[in-house]
Amino acid sequence: MKSLVRVLLLASAGVALGGCGLWGGSDEIQPSELVEFEAEKQVEVLWQARIGDGPGEAFHQFIPAVGAERVFAASRDGVVTALSRESGDELWEVDLDTTLSAGAGEGFGTLVVADESGLVIALDASSGEELWRHTVSSEVVAQPQVNADLVVVQVINGQVAAFDRVTGESLWTFDSQIPQLSLRGTGAPVLTEQVTLAGFANGKIIAIDNRNGMPIWEQRVSSSEGRSELERIADVDGRPLVFNGSVYVAGYQGQLISLNPYAAQITWSQDFSSYRSLAAGFGNIYAVSADDEVAAFDANSSASVWQQSDLRYRQLTSPAVLGTTVVVGDNLGFLHFMSQIDGHFVARYDYGDSGLLSDPVVVDDTLYVLGNDGRLSALKLN
């Protein structure tokens, strides 16, 4: 049975499918029990801080942004905080007095957040001073992306919008057709100097020209098949991954594919249903399935390297690579560290009962984790 905790019937139909109703009754799926193992490494807490009231326990993508010297994080109640990467000391904090729906995106001195009404707000990353604001057509739930020239946001209704990073001027909007039924959320786009790569609820990944918002190429990742509307959901909800000159992306009830971005050709594909982003290391691509199995595939050949099935139905985050391990969080509040070589458990850390929905972020062998209760931590694995 597929995990349906994030399925949403979009506003055109006006009906949401909630997780509790789906799992009620005698057939309710239970998360896997934790298995015992002998820990090979230990987690060291470098520092911890509190970010407002936190993102909350409903599905969210409040991912912290890590810059050269600062870490930025936002909470659903509108608090945005900048911390020292080294010490975790608060450098500044602002209360935007709005309900945020997307975590902070940072680059080139600009920090960007968005609220549930579609208001995009840019702040000075060094001071928290507001630079500009602009309203898009609907809610933004994925982390905004920033390069030297642009701020790009992906909107839940299938749009991608670009703004001048300095002035906030609207530069272009790309529209995609999306089905009535899709997963709640979108993946954050990949913003390069010339191209934006974005996955959509219609099962496609599209390369968009940053100069004018026109599509350069598109490729299907998931296909709409099945007898019911639920079976025909084909959504690309994880962020595309650029690794060793190729683009990797996974689709819900679809495939994990490797793309040559210059020829827009699929170099390999594996049947694999996922709504999470990917990670890479040791020549492998790491993915979390819709049923919360963690898998490693050879980046060149697509061969299965290993599969870890002991975390099924624990509502895992996207994977991240930390040293020689792959790490995922779960919504029961644990971080799980697995060997990149064969997937066996190396360490486990109890982050707390509030749970983890935000994807972990790794920069310079430090793991940054934002809990549902707003606790932001910098961790090392020794």
Contact between 221 and 254 (Cβ < 8 Å) = yes
Sheet holding 150-154, edge to edge: 145-146, 150-154, 159-164, 170-175
Q: What is the pLDDT of residue 224?
A: 59
- Asked if residues 168 and 149 have their Cβ atoms less than 8 Å apart, the reply is no
Please give the single-letter amino acid code of residue 132.
W
> Among 307, 247, 245, 317, which residue's Cα sits nearest to residue 272?
307
Handedness of CA 280, 283, 284, 285 (dihedral sign): positive
From the number of C-beta atoms within 10 Å of its C-beta (0-12, 13-18, 19+), residue 174 rates as buried
The number of helices, as runs of H, and strands, as runs of E, in the chain is: 1, 34
Q: Which of 250, 322, 331 is nearest to 289 (CA)?
A: 250
pTM of this structure: 0.91
3-state secondary structure of 77: coil
Burial class (CB in 10 A: 0-12, 13-18, 19+), 76: buried
Collapsing DSSP to helix, strand or coil, 293 comes out as coil
**Cβ-contact 161, 170 below 8 angstroms:** yes
| Region of 13 on the Ramachandran plot (φ > 0 left; ψ -120 to 50 alpha; else beta) | alpha
pLDDT of residue 249: 96
Cβ neighbours of residue 5 closer than 8 Å, sequence gap 6 or more: 19, 22, 23, 59, 315
What does the alpha-carbon distance between residue 191 and residue 269 come to, in Å, rounded to a whole number?
24
pLDDT string in tens for the chain (382-residue length): 334 444 443 333 333 333 333 334 446 789 999 999 999 999 999 999 999 999 988 778 899 999 999 999 999 999 999 999 999 999 999 999 999 998 899 999 999 999 999 999 999 999 999 999 999 999 999 999 999 999 999 999 999 999 999 999 999 999 987 756 555 567 899 999 999 999 988 889 999 999 999 999 999 887 656 565 565 566 788 999 999 999 999 988 889 999 999 988 999 999 999 999 999 999 999 999 999 999 999 999 999 999 999 999 999 999 999 999 999 999 999 999 999 999 999 999 999 999 999 999 999 999 999 999 999 999 999 9
Which of 239, 312, 219, 332 minimizes the C-alpha distance to 279? Answer: 239
Who's near 54: CB < 8 A, 6+ residues apart?
75, 76, 354, 370, 371, 372, 373, 374, 375
Q: What share of the chain is helix, strand, coil (3-state, %, to 5)?
A: 0, 45, 50
CA distance 236 to 290: 12
Element (H, E) at 380: strand 375-381
CA nearest to 235, candidates 269, 196, 205: 205
Q: Is 270:302 a contact under the CB 8 Å cutoff?
A: yes
Which helix (DSSP H) or strand (DSSP E) does residue 21 occupy? helix 19-23
CB 246 within 8 A of CB 204: no
Residue 82: CB atoms within 10 Å: 26
Give the per-residue pLDDT at 350: 98
